[in-house]
Amino acid sequence: MTRWTAALLMALALPLLTTAGCSEDDDAMDDAGDTMDASTDCDDDEYFDPLAAACVSRYLDDTDIETDTTPPRDTATQPDTSVAPDTAAPDVPDTTVEDEMVDPACDQDQDGSLSMDCGGDDCDDNDFRRAPSRGESCDLIDNNCNGRNNEGLNCTFYAHTNDSLYQVDPFSRSATRVADAPNLFDIDTHPDGTLYGITSTSLYFYQEIQQRWFEVGEFPTIEQGTGFAIDAEGTAFVTAAESVYTVDLGTAETDFIGNLGGDFFSSGDCVVNKANTLYMTSKANSQPDTLVLVDRNTGAGQAIGQIRAGNTAYSSIFGLTAGWGQLYGMNTRGELISIDANTGQATLIHTFNDGQGMGLRWYGAASTPGR
CA dist., res. 315 & res. 332, Å (int): 9
Alpha carbon distance 87, 36 (integer Å)? 69
Tell me: the pLDDT tens digits for 245-280?
999 999 999 999 999 998 899 988 999 998 999 999
Q: How many residues are listed for the chain in this entry?
A: 371
pLDDT per residue over 156-208, tens digit each? 999 999 999 999 999 999 999 999 999 999 999 999 999 999 998 899 999 99
Quick count: other Cβ atoms within 10 Å of Cβ 258? 17
Report d(CA 129, CA 154) in Å as an integer: 19
Mean pLDDT of the chain: 80
Selection from 153, 246, 252, 248 nearest residue 202 by Cα: 252
Question: Quick one: pLDDT at residue 356?
Answer: 79
Got the DSSP string for 321-357?
EEETTEEEEEETTSEEEEE-TTT-BEEEEEE-B-SSS
Q: Percentage of the chain with pLDDT > 90?
A: 51
pLDDT for the residue 277: 96
| Domain extent listing, the chain | 3-61, 106-150, 157-365
Is residue 348's pLDDT more than 90? Answer: yes
Complete DSSP assignment for 48-105? EETTTTEEEESS--GGGS----PPPP-TTTS---SPPP--SPPPPP--PPPPPPPPGG
Q: What is the pLDDT of residues 129-140, one digit of tens each?
A: 788 888 889 999
Spatial distance between the Cα atoms of 256 and 30, rounded to a whole number of angstroms = 162
Say if residues 368 and 171 touch (Cβ distance below 8 Å). Answer: no
- By three-state DSSP, how is residue 27 classified? helix
pLDDT class for 49, splitting at 50, 70, 90? Answer: confident
pLDDT at 80: 52
* pLDDT above 90: residue 53: no
Residue 270 has what DSSP assignment? Answer: E
- Binned at pLDDT 50, 70 and 90, residue 7 comes out as very low
CB 200 within 8 A of CB 224: yes
CA-to-CA separations, 331 to 163, 219, 289, 350, in angstroms, rounded: 15, 26, 11, 11
Spatial distance between the Cα atoms of 313 and 262, rounded to a whole number of angstroms: 21
Cα 341 from Cα 329, distance rounded (Å): 11
pLDDT > 50? residue 10: no
Total H helices, total E strands in the chain? 2, 24
For domain 157-365, give the fold.
Answer: Neuraminidase (2.120.10)
Question: Does position 67 have pLDDT exceeding 60, yes or no?
Answer: no
CA distances to 113, 117, 132, 264 from 120, in Å: 7, 7, 10, 56
In tens, the pLDDT along 300-329 reads 999 999 999 999 999 999 999 999 999 999
pTM comes to 0.68
State mean pLDDT over 65-84.
49
Q: Is the pLDDT of residue 99 over 90?
A: no
